[in-house]
Amino acid sequence: GDSVTQMEGPVTLSEEAFLTINCTYTATGYPSLFWYVQYPGEGLQLLLKATKADDKGSNKGFEATYRKETTSFHLEKGSVQVSDSAVYFCALTPYNQGGKLIFGQGTELSVKP
Amino acid sequence: GAVVSQHPSWVICKSGTSVKIECRSLDFQATTMFWYRQFPKQSLMLMATSNEGSKATYEQGVEKDKFLINHASLTLSTLTVTSAHPEDSSFYICSASGSLWAFFGQGTRLTVV
C-alpha cells in the first residue's frame, strides 16, 4: 500500500541555519503531498501542499517540490528560527481518496538560539 | 481555512468506563470524517473513515466494537472509546473533509487511570 518515509530526528540546528527534512513516498497513481507541523501538545497545522508533479508548495519561508521522478517531497527553509521548533510530518493523500492522509513517522526539529 | 472543533481537548477517565469524543465541522459540510490516533512521539495512525449516514470503515487491527464511530450528520462525528483501559491512553485527532482537503481538530488527550 501507499506509504511515506521521512528522515529520523531529532534534528538540532542553530538559529539561521539551513533546514532540509527528507521525505519520500510510495504510491500508485498521483497522490497529493503535504507537510504538517505539530507544536507540543497541539493538533496539526497544514504547512504546505502540492497536488501534481513539479508543483512547489511554500508557506512561512518553508518550501517543498513534488518530484515524481524521485518520489520525493523534501522540506526546506533557508534560515530557521527558534519558533520553528516542532515536529514535522510529511503525508500523502492517495489518488482519488480525498481527505484521507497517510503520514510519515515525523521529524522533530529543535532550533537553538 | 475551514474550522473543525474537537471536544473535549483532554479527558481523564477510570478504567472500564466509556468516553465520547466529538468532532464538528463549524463552517462546512463534512461528507467524510477521519479518526487518527497518536502515541507519544509517534506518528498519526488512521483508525477509521466515516461517511455521513453510513457505517465507518475501520483500518486493519482497529477493534470496531471498542472504538464506536457515529457520523449522524454532515457536521458531527463522534468516537466512543468503550470500556477504556490504560493502554487506550493516547492523543486522538479527527479530521473532516468536504472535498479534496481535510481539516484537523485540535485533538483530544485521553488518559485512562
pLDDT, tens digit (0-9, with 9 covering 90-100), for A28-84: 888 999 999 999 888 889 999 999 999 999 999 999 999 999 999 999 999 999 999
Where b means 16+ CB within 10 Å and e means fewer, B24-55 reads bbeebebbbbbbbbbeeeebbbbbbbbebeee
**Cross-chain residue pair A105–B43, CB shorter than 8 Å:** yes
Give the contacts of B89 (CB within 8 A, at least 6 positions apart): B110, B111, B112
pLDDT at B72 over 90: no
Environment class of A85 (CB within 10 Å of its CB; exposed 0-12, middle 13-18, buried 19+) = middle
A45, closest residue in chain B (CA to CA): B104
Q: Across the interface, do A43 and B100 touch by the CB < 8 Å criterion?
A: no
pLDDT score, position A63: 98
Q: How far is B103 from chain A (nearest CA, A)?
A: 8
Contacts A41 to B, Cβ<8 Å: 109
Indicate yes or no: CB of A99 within 8 angstroms of CB of B101: yes
A99 chain-B contacts, CB cut-off 8 A: 32, 34, 95-97, 99-102
CA distance B41 to B61: 20
Q: What is the mean pLDDT of residues B90-109?
A: 90
Cβ <8 Å between B95 and A102 = no
Q: What is residue A83's predicted lDDT score, i.e. its pLDDT? A: 95
Q: Which residue has the higher pLDDT, B102 or B78?
A: B78
A19 near A77, Cβ under 8 Å?
A: yes
**Average confidence (pLDDT) over B94-106:** 87
Across the interface, do B34 and A99 touch by the CB < 8 Å criterion? yes
> Residue B2 pLDDT more than 80?
no
Query: For A5-34, how does the pLDDT look when each residue is reduced to its tens digit (9 = 90+)?
Result: 998 889 999 999 999 999 999 998 889 999
Which grid coordinates belong to B41?
Answer: 512521539
* Res B1: pLDDT: 65
- Under 8 Å CB pairs connecting chains A and B tally to 57
Q: What is the dihedral of CA A4, A8, A12, A13, to 10 degrees?
A: -50
pLDDT tens per residue, range B29-71: 988 999 999 988 889 999 999 988 888 999 999 999 999 999 9
Decide if A89 and B97 are in contact by the 8 Å CB cutoff.
no
- The Cα–Cα gap between A100 and A94 comes to 7
Amino acid A41: pLDDT: 80
The grid coordinates of residue B79 equal 468516537
| Nearest residue in A to B4, CA atom | A43
Residues of A with CB under 8 A from a CB of B: 32, 41-46, 89, 93, 98-106, 108
Secondary structure (DSSP) of B48-81: EEEETTS--EEPTT--TTTEEEEEEETTEEEEEE
Q: Check CB contact under 8 Å for A43 and B43.
A: no
**Distance of CA B52 to CAs A93, B31, B49, B81, B112, Å?**
20, 6, 10, 20, 29
pLDDT at residue number A42: 84
Predicted pLDDT at A18: 98
Which residue matches cell numbers 484537523?
B104
List, for residues B19-30, the tens digit of each pLDDT value: 999 999 998 898
Q: Which amino acid is at B33?
A: M
Measured between CB atoms, which of B42, B46, B106 is closest to A42?
B106
Q: State the pLDDT confidence band at A99, using cuts at 50, 70 and 90.
A: confident
Q: What percent of chain B has pLDDT over 70?
A: 99
